[in-house]
Structure 1
Amino acid sequence: MKIAQKTFKKFLFYIFPQLKLVHNFSKKVTGLKNTKKKYRIIKMRLSLKIIVGSACSFLFIILIGFILFPHVIKSQVKKMVNLKPGQDIREMFLKVPFPLSFKVYIFSVVNPDEVQKGAMPILEEKGPFCYQEWKTKINVEDIDGDDTISYDPVDTFIEMSEPGCAAFDTEVNIAHPMILGMVNTISRQKPGALTLANKAIKSIWLNPMSLFITVKARDVLFDGVTINCGVQDFAGKAICTQLKGEPSLKHISEDDLEFSLLGPKNATPGKRIKAFRGSQDFHLVGRIVTYDTKFKMEVWNDTKCDVIFGTDGTIFPPMLKKEEGLASFSPDLCRALVAKFKTQTKYDGIPVSYYDASLGDQSKNPEDACYCTTPQTCLKKGLMDLYKCAGIPIYVSQPHFYDSDESYLKGVRGLKPEVEKHAIRILFEPLTGSPVSARKRLQFNMPLEPNPKVEIFHNFTPTILPIFWVEEGVDLNNTFTKPLKTLFLMKKIVTIMKYTVLLVSLAGLGAGIYLHVRPDESMTVTTVNKVKPEENGTKITKTIDDDMMDGLEKNGYREEKY
């Protein structure tokens, strides 16, 4: 039967050659349909693979890069930042392994004789006088019940001679701190005793003609200036009896004492501090619970200002929010200073936050008003009276009256406040709670006022007289910043990788979906133009397939290229 069909087909193709052309074209079209089916199947399988692979990559990077990795980093930081025994950070907390930079600048009065007669003081800044400050904590005790640690802080100062530092034998002209402090204190506490104080000054200081003395920087800062208390008159003995009971004065003999501005702090244990260790709640690490065994101060006019909060400044909790600020308690000021976030910056390649602090404005800001000694004697912006804290009228400000009311700057000459030199600032890495660079700057001033009951105070023009200012600073070197840089390098690499994988995954998903839903590509048959020989002067042109060429050539057709 098949043989007969083939024989009949050949016979027809011989009689009618055009039928062979139609037959061949039909076979080609059938083959194209089968190819399209196979192409569609292959296309669907490839697009599904791309979609599934991209979706898996997307979910993986979200889980690992955006959820798991940050959680692991924070978890490790929480474990590391606590003060329990055995932790590396505890050892650094108890003994800071490097010295802080401690610099002192003294304001020397250029025109002491004129000031004594009522002229405005002209000041010349002398310094810096440079020291290393070593911070340690002794008599350490752990209390597991409330997760706290108690200790006595000790600051030790060592002279440093290095380029840019002034010689410690430099002479300065300053208002005698003991005489000025004593007269101002008696004026507030017992004004009726000023006449007695005037006689005692003449006796102890050998009838001085001026409030100002010339003294070496080394002596007035740490070594000491002698007070001769071997006097026999009633007024002198009465004042000396009180002076001998002052713990801040050094006894060098039975009759003689020494005073210095910073000597009492040197290598002397401070009042006991109790702070949280942070092993139960990392947000509390370093926060002071009690100072001198008390949960709050008993100094100011309001319990709000007596609240003890913040750390001692050597440690802060990790992962602090910007709006929380950096609170550190300062025993010298009987209060906490809160540094507020300003901007983002970098330190040694590490992204950090810039914070600065101020002393507020107790004359205008309700939250600062409780630091006033009395409502009538509130100081203006930038100054704070430490009378209730230190026991003598000392006014603290930022150096050169930076960020203070202009009236204080106009009361003297020779000051030039600058933000870079005189502001309180901290560069803080928030993830680990690390201060990488800091400058704590405070200026100590005393009121200079006329007093008719004390001879050498008769002619003064009222002003706030700067005495000296200090800068306590730290800049972590590569030894201590290297772990931070390694951490942030790892975070940077992971960030680049996770966003790269995320973008590639999203691009893959888009490409896979497009391949899956787009229409099938059309498959075309390429044709060429064939021309029949001229008949009776007329050219006959036909468009046919290459597969038909054999049959056409047999019937007198030829290819014409044009």
Structure 2
Amino acid sequence: MHFPKLNYKATLIVSACLLAFGIGFGFFAFPKLLKKMVTGQINVAPGSTIRPLYEKAPFFIDFRVRLFNVTNKEEIIEGKKPKLQEIGPYFFEEWKEKFEMVDDDAEDTVTYHYRNKFIFRPDLSDGLTGDEIITMPHPLIMGMLMAVNVDKQAMLPTIEGVLKNLFHDPADAFYTGRVMDLLFDGVGVDCSSDDKTTIAICMSFDSNKALRKIDDQHYAFSLFGGTNYTDLGEFKVYRGKKNYRDLGRVISFNGETEMNAWDEDECNTYVGTDSTIFPAFMSKEEGIWAYEPSICRSLGASYRSKSKYNGLPVLVYEMDMGEDINIKQCFCRDEDNCPPKGTIDLFKCGGVPMIASLPHFYLADPKLLEGIDSGLNPTKEKHGISMLFEIMTGSPLKAAKRLQFSLEVKSIPQVEMVKNVPDVIFPLFWVEEGVSLGREFTDKMKNSLFLMIKIVKVVKWLCIVIGALGGILSGVMMVMSSQSNNKVTMPNGR
């Protein structure tokens, strides 16, 4: 039987080319081409695809607030442990916007101011209207008392008189009133007294975001009202056009290239992005880092696992505040006073002994829970921080950022209204910022970038399989053809 050698040689050559193309293009050339294409598009320079999205997100972030109602105020005043009742969530739309953007092409940077707009959604607040009456330590009265006790104890004999002037002779250091007054509408503060100490304290109110000036003698205190659609500061970040790995990385905030809240440079350094954008092709080991001005800290989340979200491959990151996030001494209030495990001491940041943690003291020192009689039940699902990232583009597809704010309460013998209160880290409220991109957004990614990847993947393996099979078949047939041509013909009659 005769096999045409030339056809098998040609098939072998074609098969080898297909195999080489499948391996070379699929495993080496295309990944480099894809990375160049993606990193070339993902930057926030003017004219880029994502610049408009970076300036103003086309969707709102879910903003939920839960507060801790005190059910045994009189007992706490006498020294008993707090009994708490969580109320919420109060649901708000949070719209993020950047403005006054100034680009520097030489530095590849953009400087901008930012603001958040909150819109209350009672229809998504489980029947809550904001008119509910709540009792908790008064953030301003109790906060001022505790702050004076930390570093201005010489004022303790006069601070009670100041509080009587500002709050019309309060009976205790607790707030009982409407939830929405405390959150946004404002609780009245009267600065009409001619007492010199009261006047001096009132003069500091103009720079406090929590206090909205009504007129020359009156202010309104609220937890979030002063930050609603107001200028929250100036960021300067890299645009990521020259170096994609720098995208969003913070260079300065309010003109300062480092913080001044902490005692050493290593704690004052900005680490990570402005939290609204992240670089493409981040490695798992890097983690997700962002700077948060409200707590004077950069916080990071670590890689945990792979998963899927709306059919897209994602990496799961979690922030474990149970790890020693205060390992650097400069995050401590002083040499002998470091915050409990799993918490952040905000005294150096805001001048009030507030403590940040995960909600319900999840992953924090168990002693914090021991200081509360009832009302806290930490679980990972409700109180942990997790983020799902599409790592190729650096896109957060689903995220839940949760943070609880508590007040460090201590008894002060010189002040009647708090002379018997227990020493406790007292939870006040916690917030949750959440985003879950719908299929409208994820389908666009699947139908563009990931569809192209899928097509290339199919073509790659087709080339490899066809090339390998064709090469093997051609080689076998060439061997068989060679054996046929070399076969010895036996003489007749033998």
- Bin for the TM-score computed over the shorter chain: over 0.9
Q: Where does residue 374 of structure 1 map in the other structure?
A: 334
Corresponding residue number in structure 1 for 2:490? none
d(CA) in 2 for partners of 1:322, 1:48: 46
> Counterpart in 1 of 2:95?
134
- Evaluate the alpha carbon distance shift between residue 361 and residue 451 of structure 1 in structure 2; reply closer, same or farther with a 3 A threshold: farther
The within-5 A match list for 1:1-400 is 36=1, 39=2, 42=3, 44-165=5-126, 166-232=128-194, 236-237=198-199, 239-243=201-205, 246=208, 248-359=210-321, 366=327, 368-400=328-360
Cα deviation code 1:158-197 (max 9, x no counterpart): 1112244432112211111111110111112210111101
Q: Distance in 2 between matches of 1:374 and 1:360?
A: 21
Q: Which whole-Å CA distance do the structure 2 matches of 1:335 and 1:241 have between them?
A: 28
Distance 1:59 1:213 in 2: 74
Cα RMSD for the two superposed structures: 2.4
Structure 2 counterpart of 1:537:
none
**CA distance, structure 2, for counterparts of residue 271 and residue 234 of structure 1:** 32
Q: Give the Cα separation in 1 of the matches to 2:14 and 2:349.
A: 69
The alpha-carbon deviation at position 66 of structure 1 amounts to 2.7
Distance 1:245 1:283, change over 3 A: closer
Percent identity (aligned): 35
> Residues of 1 paired with 2:99 and 2:207: CA distance?
26
1:410 maps onto 2:370 in alignment = yes
* Rounded Cα–Cα distance in structure 2 between residues aligned with 1:485 and 1:217: 43
Residues 199 and 235, structure 1, Cα contact 8 Å, conserved in 2: no
Of the structure 1 ranges 237-246 and 460-469, higher mean CA displacement relative to structure 2 is found in 237-246
Q: Contact (CA 8 Å) 2:91, 2:124: kept in 1 or not?
A: no
Q: Select the structure with the greater relative contact order (CA < 8 A; seq sep ≥ 6).
A: 2
* Correspondence 1:425 to 2:390: no
Structure 2: distance between partners of 1:143 and 1:222: 37
User: What CA deviation, in whole Å up to 9, does each residue of 1:269-290 have, x standing for no partner?
Assistant: 1221111111111111111111
- Deviation, 1:143, is 1.0
- The higher radius of gyration belongs to 1
Count how many residue pairs are aligned between Structure 1 and Structure 2.
486
The Cα shift of 1:242 comes to 4.6
Residue 309 of structure 1 and its aligned partner are, at CA, apart by 2.4
User: What's the secondary structure of 2:458's corresponding residue?
Assistant: helix
CA contact (8 A) 2:115 2:230 kept: yes
2:329 and 2:5 map into 1 onto residues whose CA distance is 76
Structure 2 residue ranges without an equivalent (≥5) = 488-492
Alpha-carbon separation, structure 2, partners of 1:361 and 1:371: 14
Equivalent in the alignment of 1:559:
none
Partners of 1:137 and 1:244 in 2: CA distance: 24
Compute the displacement of 1:98 (Å): 1.1
Residue 473 of structure 2 corresponds to: 511
TM-aligned CA distance change 1:421 to 1:248, over 3 Å: same
Between structures 1 and 2, the one with greater helix share: 1
Residue 514 of structure 1 aligns with an amino acid whose one-letter code is V
Counterparts of 2:29 and 2:361, CA distance in 1: 50
CA contact (8 A) 1:300 1:370 kept: yes
Distance 2:397 2:166 in 1: 48
Q: Distance in 1 between matches of 2:124 and 2:113?
A: 34
SS of equivalent to 1:442: strand
